[in-house]
Every structure is written in structure tokens, then in C-alpha cells.
Amino acid sequence: MRQQLFVATALLAVGAFQPAYADGLLSKPANALASQGIDVSAIYLNQFMANPSTGFNTGTTSSTGALIPHIDVDLNKLAGIPGASIHFEQAIFTFVSGQNMTSNVGGILPGLPYNAVGKHTYLSELTYEQKLLQGRLDIEVGRMNPLRHFSSPNCDNFFTCQDPVFLIDNDVPPYPYGVWGGRAQLQLDKQDNVQLGAFEDDFYDARVTNGYDWGTNHATGAEILFQLARHTSFADSRHPGAYSLMYFHNTSTVPDPYITVAGTSQVFNPSTAPATYTGTDGLVLRFNQTLWLAAAPPGVPPVHTDVYGGVSYSFTASAPVRAQFYTGVNYYFHTGMPLDTLGLKLQYADIGSRELMFQRDARIAAGGADVMGSSNEWRFEVNGSYMLLPGIALQPTFQYYINPDAFFNPFQPRLPRNGMVFGATLVVFLGQILGLPQPPMS
């Protein structure tokens, strides 16, 4: 099964699936389908967010739920095509409220975790996958999101996995929004792989359509991604880790954040066309490493402590975010329960000078003072992930922001406030509860 997570990382963040119940309500029909090569599963997520003290409009809340059914079809079993499969995923949004959260918080770091919902249902994935060379070469094409396979999260809480350089400068759509794309991954050995991908840059599709408008007339360019990765697990290493280095290039022509073609402020000269630049480039480095672990029976995930982090840099001088880094530590405190964690995290973002000048002029135009915001934006975080019941996990987070910018709501007369954001993601593994076949925890 390959089911991924809505809104950037809930399933990817918790790492893997729980085993299915042998006596679940749908066990018999699901196993019958699986014997024919059709695996069916589902997950339900609800993301809650509140900003009690940070941003422009404090004391607001938001909620976004998503029911995500997923189907994998093994074409070798079904039609005798070795190494071939088809993948389908649909996101159905429920209990949606507080769609103005990004405007309320304003800044890039506090605003990135929240994704406003355009349509009530969306085609998240429809791809054809072909494995060759005894499974070492994996090729996939169709409708997909780049985040499924590139720059995978290396933490265990949804709110901790946001990279503003890759997401904003490279214009990557959030989950569950899919675009046309393809990728090829070559497994060099048991631990190392190299991967190349190309995806259309089409944010219009994510904002306006339901994923079934497959035209490319709104595409502005292409995203080219190249990644080297190494991954070990407790099965082959006492202290496993994951490391990746990715280069990204976007071919789109985009407006400069601040100046017009005449070299003047866009805010004060709205009738003059903005200057543009073509192509953005950057690097993303991520790691996760187990430092300590306690003794545990063979095959049982042990109590352990991991350190993780990442550094991203944009080579484009006028990019909204020039660089970012984060680092954190997770303590997995429950033997045999790899979702039960407690973590600390620190994140920094270097906001681009032209983006800050645009925000300053927008502030003046809204009646505020001629004050430049700080380029140094910080997030301090305490987070966790806990299995409340078999098949049901909760991921809470408490964050404090210093020097938030006004990227998502620039025309305000003052700078956004420093302060706290609280969030929680409820993850319900419907596949496990209903007895749908799924792989065990890794």
C-alpha cells in the first residue's frame, strides 16, 4: 500500500501504517480483493489550528477534515503485467471552518501549515507505476503531488514539516493537490537511491478545480527535481538514519516581489507592470538520525531518541525566502508504539529583502508607519504524537513565533504580533479499524 497523507504530511509524518485488524468489519471482502491484486484503504484526518496571540487577527480557529480513500491495483496479479500497478486517491473534505487562518496569522512560518480548501473533493493521485530491473528501477507517471516522493518529511508531527524555501520559492502545491508529473527512482543498493522528477507548475488547478480538469493551459512552467537519498531502518542498523540532498529548478516566469519594469515600487505604481524573472533554483538537505535506543525484543520498535533537521537555500536573489534551517529532537517513549513521541524544534527563515520592501510599502499604503520588518523569522515548538486508541492518533503542537512577516496579508497598517499558535491533527486509520490489508509498521 502507498497511501500518503493529506496536507503535506500526516501519514508521512507518523511514518507508516498500523497492521490491520484480522477481524475488522471489511476484512473478508478486502482480503478477497487483495488476492486479486486490489488493495483498498482509507484514512481520516482533521487538522485544527488556533492563533491565541500571534498575527493580525488573534483568537481565531480553523478546522479542516479530510476522508481519503486509496486504491492500489497490482497489474501483475490482475492482468499479468510484471512490476506494473495503478494508484488512485481521492480527498473528500469535511468539517471545514476558519478559511482565513493564513490571513489572520500573516507570516510565512505560521501560515504554511494551513491549506485553504478550494473544492469539497479533489483527485489526489491517479498514476501508472512500472518497476524494472528486479524492482531497482521505479518509474511512475500521471497525476501526483511532488511531495509524495521528494523532500519527504523527517519529523513526526504535521506542523513541524514545512519548508518555506521549497514550498514557496519552488511553487509546490500542498497535499492533496496533484498535477501532471513523472519520476524515475533507481535503487543503487539496499540503502541508497537516486531520483529524478518533472512536474507541471499549475497552482490554478489546486485553487479552482477538483483535480479532474486535466488540461495544461494554466500551467506556467515545470518543476525539475533531482534527489540523492540514503535510508536505513532498525532491520539493518542499530542506529538507523535517513539523509537526502535535493536540487530543484522551476522554469516558470514569475513577478518580482517588489519592483516594476520601471524599477519602482509595485505598491505605489500599480499601473506599471511588475518586473519578472525566469527560473528559480535551490538546494534542500534533510536528515534524521537515531542517537540512542533502549533494548527491545526483536522486531519491536524500541524506545529511542532521534535528532533531525534540514537546511534549504534559494539561489534566486529576489525569492521571497532566501534560506531556512530547522533542527529538532524526538523522544519515542513507548516500546512497540512508534507513533508515541515527544519533541522539541527550532526553525529559522531568512525573508528576502525585496519581499520585505513590498510588505513595508503595503503597510504604508494601508495607513501604517514606514517600518521594515525583520528578515529573521523564528519558530520555537513543543510537539508530540500519541496513539489515543488502536487506529487513532493525535498530534498536538505548541509554537511561539518571533518576528513574523506579513506574506499572507501584507496590506495591514502594522506588523503582525509575536505570539503563540496551537495546533492538533487527529489521524484515524480507517483501514486498520475496518480490517483492510496494510503492511506492518516499519
pLDDT digits (tens, 9 = 90+) for 75-116: 999 999 999 999 999 999 888 887 788 888 999 998 887 666
DSSP category for residue 433: H
Residues of the chain with pLDDT under 70: 1-23, 114-119, 158-160, 205-206, 336, 437-442
Q: DSSP H helical segments within 20-175, as ranges?
A: 27-35, 75-79, 101-105, 108-111, 164
Give me the pLDDT at residue 432, please: 81
- Three-state DSSP at 417 gives strand
pLDDT digits (tens, 9 = 90+) for 308-366: 999 999 999 899 999 999 999 999 988 767 778 999 999 999 999 999 999 999 999 99
Picking from 16, 319, 309, the residue whose alpha carbon sits closest to that of residue 167 is: 319
Q: How far apart are CA 347 and CA 401, in angstroms?
A: 10
Whether residue 332 contacts residue 340, with contact meaning beta carbons closer than 8 Å, is answered with: yes
Q: How far apart are CA 382 and CA 311, in angstroms?
A: 20
pTM above 0.75, yes or no: yes
Q: Please list the helix, strand and coil fractions of the chain in percent, rounded to the nearest 5, in that order.
A: 15, 45, 40
